[in-house]
Structure 1
Amino acid sequence: MYGQQQPIIVLNQNVKREQGKKVQLENINAGKRIAEVVRTCLGPRAMLKMLMDPMGGICLTNDGNAILREITVQHPAAKSLIEIARTQDEEVGDGTTSVIVLAGETLHVAQPFLGQQMHPTMIIKAYRQALEDMINILQDEIAISIDLNNNDQVKEVIKACIGTKFMSQWSDLAVEISQAAVKTVFIEENGRKEIDIKRYAKVEKIPGGRIEDSYVLNGIMLNKDVTHQKMKRKIENPRIILLDCSLEYKKGESMTNVELMKEEDFTKMLQQEEEFVQKMCEDLIRLKPDVIFTEKGVSDLAQHFLVKAGIAAVRRVKKSDNNRISRATGATIVSRTDELREEDVGTQCGLFEVKKIGDEYFCFVSECKDPKACTIILRGASRDILKEVERNLQDAMCVARNIYLEPKIVGGGGAVEMAVSYALTEKSKSMTGVEQWPYRAVVQALEVIPRTLAQNCGANVIRVLTALRAKHAAGAKTWGINGETGELADMNTLKIWEPLSVKLQTYKTAIETAILLLRIDDIVSGSKKRDKDSSGPAQPTEQSMQE
């Protein structure tokens, strides 16, 4: 081994390198800055942010994930924090603001220990222990099981989630819509529950009308019209066929260059094309369908045959919409017309109708018997309002999904954070060694949620937090902060709840991210751009290299 040459790491002049404590402090500052951006968006008294995209579009929202998605940052640690908001949104659909605020604060409380020359691995060890204890406390001591058959209790949890959003004034409507959508797509097979709201609960926004006019359609709606003006626009109990192929003549690969020797050859080619399309249409007409949806095109000739047979056709349907129609009507998507069978025809739909709303035509497949897929139709004054209503509704549906998958809840309004922090404080009293200090710092970090809620509604933060600590020390685990008034309140009385899965995911994501960023002690970036003032040698141009 001694005779072998050691590898040498060569860093280019252009490579910027920062390491050690400086990097860790910079990562902490980046986390704090990102947390400060969304801190005012927590709670029912949350402020809105106006976001402008490069194309000049405007978005008004207090949704943490939507805000951070539009922000452009250079620092890698800040990018990591923005990524966790996206993870939280994809995993449980709520708590995006909380997770950023908590991650930023968890990083901030580690700063004094780094200043005291404590090694990051000691801080990380304490953080991991604290996270493990948090999860156990939440699951064993604080979480309350709810009865899914108790409709009022489920509604209270969903309503508490919308209470901090723009749509809070229409909370009853939002609760009904989200609950109806989740119940529609809910499937339980062999003891396994599946609620796929992203694929099977589509939100369609139609500007005009009032928000109160929004509803859940017991079926599917598409922004489409029938292909021919003489096709029927209203059919009761239709037989539906779904296709993945075009009703057009397919030219072969060798047909790009065709040599016509006689004038009859061109007529023969046209006849061949007509026979091919007629054969496809005959395969369809044989099953006597009323409506055909295809993901590809429908030629004029095919439209002619279908109109004669009294069949309506809708073309260029998205793959995702076709899957929804398949699930709602019981039809099977077929790739070849000659493979169609009677069992592929969908018969569970009660009404097919094409309506004109505003300037556009919409195709409704409604009154399905057991759809397992639905469309949520949103009405509102403008597209900007509809976008925000859609974001709020997605959060509400995710909360409803979480409850149906895991029917356990915890108190909102910062009550659960104070209860967990009090339990951790008691646990830390029995700890010895250096790790007890970072462990207690996590307790301090948890208090950022009730503190921010109090700040956002203009309360006296120190007085309110001191009173809340005293309440929890006396055993009142369900007491938190009323986000409307800034006063202490029992969350049981106010009926403010959060799903356990959201809270668990918030703690796991926030603390794991803080641990990840504290482990970084070196940032190396090979930047090609150079300062004009740098005294280093000029980069060789392509021309000089050739010379």
Structure 2
Amino acid sequence: MANTMGMPYGLQAMLKEGHKHFSGVEEAVMKSVEACKAISKCTRTSLGPTGLNKIIVNHLGKVYITSDAGTILQELEVQHPAAKLLVHAVKAQQQEVGDGANMVMSIAGELLSKSESLLRDGLHPTEVAEGYAKAAKNCLEYLEDLVEGDNKDLDFSNVSQVADRLRGALKSKQNGYEDTLAPLVAQACVDVCPDNKQNFNVDNVRVSKLVGGFVDQSEIMQGIVVRRKCEGTVSCCENAPVAVFSQGVDTSSTETKGTVLIKSAQELKDYHKSEEKELEEIIKGIADLGVKVVVSGQSIGEMAMHFIERYRMMAIKIPSKFELRRICRATGAQAIPKFIVPGKEQLGQAQRVEQVEIGGNQVMLIQQDRRVGKVATIILRGATDHLMDDMERAIDDGVNTFKALCKDARTVPGGGATEMELSKRLAEHGRKQTGLEQYAIQKFAEALEVIPLTLAENAGMNTTDTLATLRAQHAQGNSRLGVDSVKGELSDLTQQHISDLFYTKYWAIKFAADAVNTVLRVDQIIMAKQAGGPKKPQGQGHWDDQ
């Protein structure tokens, strides 16, 4: 009856006008698979040492030139809800490990691509998802058998040993610079690593980028580098007690508005003198404690600056509250919220504070004794801002890899050797299975080959020949053989001290399989009408027009 009168019925009657609804394998699952394949293809070309860079211009107009998949996906505003699931899996990998983002996206995209043929052959999405779940579980068990380096093999105080474990992660981001960056990152991490390695904090390794010079002129400094000049004439202090104020260093203003009635010029002079006297007493009290460096979180008043100069103290202004917090951590000081004479226990200590010029930039070095300091800074030099931004991302991956090492120091062969061996073992396991899930397990095994395939592809090698040779070698028992994409040949990368972390591989396979299973189990996409008026069209087309 409702239909004959032109009124909507069913789901149309239940939801507001303007909603979108997709259902069934063809509309919901296949569309989701297509979207995920597209975003996976975008990042795949950036995998490995010979991966290509992307130029990303975000919504604020900031330009990123990088091959780091985590940064690429973070800056792309992905609209498709299924593709967003893969982006969330990548973010989870970044938070858990800090490296391996591209591996998650590549494996997830390939798994969905392989599932497409199974779905078209008539398998139910649930059967494919269950097969993938079993395959992932077996895969993680086989991964344990491929482990080479052990937790006991690694001496965390030995910089060269730690640098060897970090080299693989740095080479995949900054090929050619790994021999320079690996010892720097290793030294910085070892210096600030606490006795309980589980408590290692990645924020304690800072990067200060100063344009100019070569990358091999980069160096480590115990303490903090502040890209500002000091406020007064005192520009160097040794063994300096430090007072840190989170507020401005100036006359204190009342919390409520007050009115002062002044009847004569003498009263005005006296009022000004009393304010001046109070300020001098506070600064004299700070100087009497032996303080040589005053750090202010806000502006420093002219009168306060006059008295700080009179008592030969150094003044530094730090507008960033995050930077202020790091200075407190590096010196052991407490940030005082009001401009008063602090207690002795609130002061910090710095071995040396000085203003120096590096590459035309005036910077403050707050140096600290290695035994006392909890923060290390890598002073990074380079030709352009974009180069150094990408270097910083590589260093960040290296520091996160050290954190992962603190949790689990085991390693597996690199260059796609691990994935190839897992693929071989999983395929053998799949052939022994019965039921429809065996097809999904076989496809999972094939999907793992995407890593060596992509490494060869990005290096310009013949992918068909490379993959065939690699399969044959692994069948003969050469389980360490992988793709050396820099030399363009197959080799055992462990001989070049390049390996991958077990921890990174474990979570990458786990997150990729979980995200794919979530996408496959979606049978309807229902989107409410977006709030607000009509949106300005962005680019060509929209995901639901595919």
Three-state SS of the structure 2 residue aligned to 1:324 is helix
The answer to whether the 8 A contact 2:192-2:375 is kept is yes
C-alpha distance in 1, partners of 2:29/2:318? 53
Residue 284 of structure 1 aligns with an amino acid whose one-letter code is I
Alignment correspondent of 1:77: 82
Q: Spell out the pairing of 1:461-480 with structure 2 (5 A cutoff).
A: 461-480=463-482
The answer to whether the 8 A contact 2:159-2:190 is kept is no
Give the alignment partner of residue 447 of structure 1, picking from 449, 455, 477.
449
Distance 1:223 1:492, change over 3 A: closer
Alignment correspondent of 1:15: 19
Q: Give yes or no for the alignment of 1:158 onto 2:166.
A: yes
Distance 1:134 1:273, change over 3 A: farther
C-alpha distance in 2, partners of 1:467/1:357? 51
Distance 1:215 1:276, change over 3 A: same
Distance 1:428 1:176, change over 3 A: same
Alignment correspondent of 1:365: 366
Alignment correspondent of 2:217: 213
C-alpha distance in 1, partners of 2:320/2:78? 35
> Runs of 4+ in structure 1 displaced over 6 angstroms?
6-9
Residue 494 of structure 2 aligns with an amino acid whose one-letter code is N
Residue 372 of structure 1 aligns with an amino acid whose one-letter code is K
The answer to whether the 8 A contact 1:222-1:363 is kept is yes
Alignment correspondent of 1:173: 180
Residue 527 of structure 2 aligns with an amino acid whose one-letter code is S
1:187 CA displacement: 1.0
C-alpha distance in 1, partners of 2:355/2:486? 45
The answer to whether the 8 A contact 2:210-2:361 is kept is no
C-alpha distance in 2, partners of 1:94/1:73? 21
Residue 188 of structure 1 aligns with an amino acid whose one-letter code is D
Q: Give yes or no for the alignment of 1:481 onto 2:483.
A: yes
C-alpha distance in 1, partners of 2:282/2:137? 63
Residue 176 of structure 1 aligns with an amino acid whose one-letter code is P
Give the alignment partner of residue 330 of structure 2, picking from 328, 331, 341.
328
Alignment correspondent of 2:117: 112
Q: Spell out the pairing of 1:76-475 with structure 2 (5 A cutoff).
A: 76-145=81-150, 147-149=153-155, 151-165=159-173, 167-189=174-196, 193-197=198-202, 199-228=203-232, 230=233, 232-255=234-257, 266-267=268-269, 269-336=271-338, 338=340, 340-347=342-349, 349-357=350-358, 360-370=361-371, 371-475=373-477
Three-state SS of the structure 2 residue aligned to 1:238 is strand
Q: % of aligned pairs identical?
A: 28
The answer to whether the 8 A contact 1:247-1:277 is kept is no
Q: Give yes or no for the alignment of 1:27 onto 2:24.
A: no
C-alpha distance in 1, partners of 2:262/2:119? 84
C-alpha distance in 1, partners of 2:365/2:29? 56
C-alpha distance in 2, partners of 1:516/1:369? 48
The size of the alignment, in residue pairs, is 520
Alignment correspondent of 2:47: 42
The answer to whether the 8 A contact 2:412-2:418 is kept is yes
Residue 368 of structure 1 aligns with an amino acid whose one-letter code is D
Three-state SS of the structure 1 residue aligned to 2:195 is strand
Q: C-alpha root-mean-square deviation of aligned residues, in Å?
A: 2.7
C-alpha distance in 2, partners of 1:111/1:204? 47
C-alpha distance in 1, partners of 2:290/2:164? 48
The answer to whether the 8 A contact 2:163-2:182 is kept is yes
Cα deviation digits, residues 132-168 of structure 1 (max 9, x gap): 2222222244353152226544323322222233x32
> Which runs of 5 or more structure 1 residues have no equivalent in the other structure?
1-5, 532-547
Three-state SS of the structure 2 residue aligned to 1:44 is coil
The answer to whether the 8 A contact 1:206-1:378 is kept is yes
Cα deviation digits, residues 318-343 of structure 1 (max 9, x gap): 23223322333333333345572223
1:60 CA displacement: 2.4
1:14 CA displacement: 0.9
1:74 CA displacement: 2.7
Three-state SS of the structure 2 residue aligned to 1:493 is helix
Task: Please report the TM-score for the alignment, with normalisation by the length of structure 2.
Answer: 0.88
Cα deviation digits, residues 184-218 of structure 1 (max 9, x gap): 221124xx522212x22121111122222111112
C-alpha distance in 1, partners of 2:499/2:31? 36
Distance 1:486 1:207, change over 3 A: closer
Residue 113 of structure 1 aligns with an amino acid whose one-letter code is L
Distance 1:7 1:404, change over 3 A: closer
Residue 167 of structure 2 aligns with an amino acid whose one-letter code is K
> Which runs of 5 or more structure 2 residues have no equivalent in the other structure?
1-9, 536-546
1:446 CA displacement: 0.7
Residue 355 of structure 1 aligns with an amino acid whose one-letter code is V
C-alpha distance in 1, partners of 2:266/2:28? 80
Cα deviation digits, residues 88-113 of structure 1 (max 9, x gap): 23332221222111110111111123
Distance 1:369 1:142, change over 3 A: closer
C-alpha distance in 2, partners of 1:60/1:338? 47
C-alpha distance in 1, partners of 2:341/2:132? 60
Three-state SS of the structure 2 residue aligned to 1:43 is coil
Residue 443 of structure 2 aligns with an amino acid whose one-letter code is A
Three-state SS of the structure 2 residue aligned to 1:469 is helix
Alignment correspondent of 1:539: none
Residue 70 of structure 2 aligns with an amino acid whose one-letter code is N
C-alpha distance in 2, partners of 1:260/1:18? 76
The answer to whether the 8 A contact 1:457-1:484 is kept is yes
Distance 1:304 1:494, change over 3 A: closer
Distance 1:187 1:211, change over 3 A: same
C-alpha distance in 2, partners of 1:68/1:52? 12
The answer to whether the 8 A contact 1:328-1:368 is kept is no
The answer to whether the 8 A contact 1:186-1:193 is kept is no
**Which moves more between the two structures, 284-293 or 472-481?**
472-481
Cα deviation digits, residues 51-104 of structure 1 (max 9, x gap): 334565543222212222333333222233233333323332221222111110
1:257 CA displacement: 5.2
C-alpha distance in 1, partners of 2:256/2:361? 41
C-alpha distance in 1, partners of 2:435/2:69? 38
Distance 1:359 1:215, change over 3 A: closer
Alignment correspondent of 1:492: 494
1:376 CA displacement: 1.3
Distance 1:447 1:267, change over 3 A: same
The answer to whether the 8 A contact 1:216-1:376 is kept is yes
Residue 496 of structure 1 aligns with an amino acid whose one-letter code is I
